[in-house]
Amino acid sequence: MAGGLVVLALGAALLAGCAPSGTPAASATAVANQGYQSGDGSTRKWAVADRSEPVALAGTDFAGTTQDLTTWRGDVVVLNSWYAACPPCRAEAPDLVAFANDYAASGVHVLGINGTDDVGAAQAFERTFSIPYPSLADTGGHAIAALQGAVPVQAVPTTVVLDREGRVAARILGLADPSTLRGLVDDVLAESATPAAGATAGATATP
């Protein structure tokens, strides 16, 4: 019986995601150290009038390069939280790679956020799946903490779509269905581009 429960639990993780348990912690360190439960793949969209202020997010990726969302204002951005040993993260990686390659010509940027892995584990994952986009090294939890101010990030993976002004337009908790993600991004791309109002002060992610 115990073995059957283990199989069921693993199957649920593969189909859904892994979400921080409890309420979001006040400190970045607490956010980074939370345990994980399953996410259900649910999707939420925000109407333009209901969107938050632009997300201010910057940090260093696993190649040592600084990444700053403000450099992509005017373009649509997709954020994806992940870590190498996360089953749904591995399951959705090929679809995210295809998405990133297909939408690059449309000016869509993808940025990963990894608060768990060291450089070796993260880069091994990136090589395995030929990841074409950077990921912030967020072991301090600062990037996730900054993002939590705009939208709850309750699962790993979580995928967040930012509009051209850097505001949260949509979120997927757990494994992202590729057609759902493409539909959400297509909707945001179809919106009229407007000048960014400027980013709010936010945290900087550091390894």
Per-residue pLDDT for 24 more than 70? no
Per-residue pLDDT for 204 more than 70? no
Residues 144-188 pLDDT 10s? 888 887 888 878 999 999 999 999 999 999 999 999 999 999 999
Break the chain into its structural domains and give their ranges.
Answer: 2-205
The arithmetic mean of pLDDT across residues 98-114, rounded, is 98
pLDDT at residue 151, rounded to an integer: 85
Through-space distance between the first and last CA atoms of the chain, rounded to whole angstroms: 42
DSSP state at residue 61: B
Which residues lie below 8 Å from residue 66, measured CB to CB, with a gap of 6+? 58, 59, 60
Residues 99/186, Cβ–Cβ less than 8 Å:
no
Per the document, the length of the chain is 207
Question: How is domain 2-205 classified at the architecture level of CATH?
Answer: 3-Layer(aba) Sandwich (3.40)
pLDDT at residue 94, rounded to an integer: 98
78-104 burial string, b = 16+ CB within 10 Å, else e? bbbbbbbebbbbbbbbebbbebbeebe
pLDDT band for position 191 (cuts 50, 70, 90): very high
